[in-house]
Structure 1
């Protein structure tokens, strides 16, 4: 069911830059509970995946999903570096890498190497420390990509 709801919302977002929904209306449309709509939005429409979500609670409440428009590779790298911040979970780090790969900002090989470096098996098991180390490593990788020769990057994607 979550895949169907996600596909529906993404189809709407292909036709317009943003969609404004009411949780109860979408739940009724798909004959599910409103919390399932929350789950889809919280897991499938994250900033790491290129979406900004705004919500307003109450009687006239809504959830607005906006597809983030990125001007170029450098802008995307800067945005991701900012999103990563000082700490990032393995799941969110993998989402960042996936988004960069899907948007052709990194190659398949770069993505594989980054994913290996994000794997929890390489860390201490102390969540706070691991998330900070993972963040530092991923941000350093992305900063390094920002200063690579643009023509070489384009050739690598071919």
Structure 2
């Protein structure tokens, strides 16, 4: 029997809505009530599953009429989205988040399977083989930002 945890269920629910609409606007408390969880569980799902690295932009407005808006974006569709992604990468990125960026580029049709696999190989922990995680994450970020800039100028 395949048992999903509640975070997976909430993520899939939001992704199903996004598959039919350009974006989704939710109220954290309403979704929490719907799934019988605390509102912080909704925050966790959004912060970990709907990141720019995964191809999502999240906007929130606090207060009585507050909402959280999630939109699936093509990472290279606009210069602004690319700048946000490069800013999110910054000067350091771990292997998990870097792989998510490459997966999003592949999903958006910006990379072929072969290109994505080559990039994944280049930024893999075993390839970099450094004994200092900070240095490894810095080099990985430089490689990814360089690739993104190259793709930006080619598209």
Q: Distance in 2 between matches of 1:62 and 1:78?
A: 25
Q: Distance in 2 between matches of 1:92 and 1:66?
A: 19
Residue 75 of structure 1, CA deviation: 5.2
Structure 2 equivalent of residue 155 of structure 1 = none
State the 4+ residue runs in structure 1 displaced beyond 6 angstroms.
none
Structure 2 equivalent of residue 9 of structure 1 = 14
Q: Distance in 2 between matches of 1:77 and 1:52?
A: 9
Unaligned runs of 5+ in 1: 151-158
Pair 1:133-2:129 in alignment: no
Unaligned runs of 5+ in 2: 1-5
Q: Secondary structure at the match of 2:58?
A: strand
Q: Deviations over 1:3-45 (max 9, x none)?
A: 2211211222233322221222111111222222122111111
RMSD: 2.8
Q: Secondary structure at the match of 1:66?
A: strand
Residues 76, 82 of structure 2: 8 Å contact kept: no
Give the TM-score normalised by the residue count of structure 2: 0.77
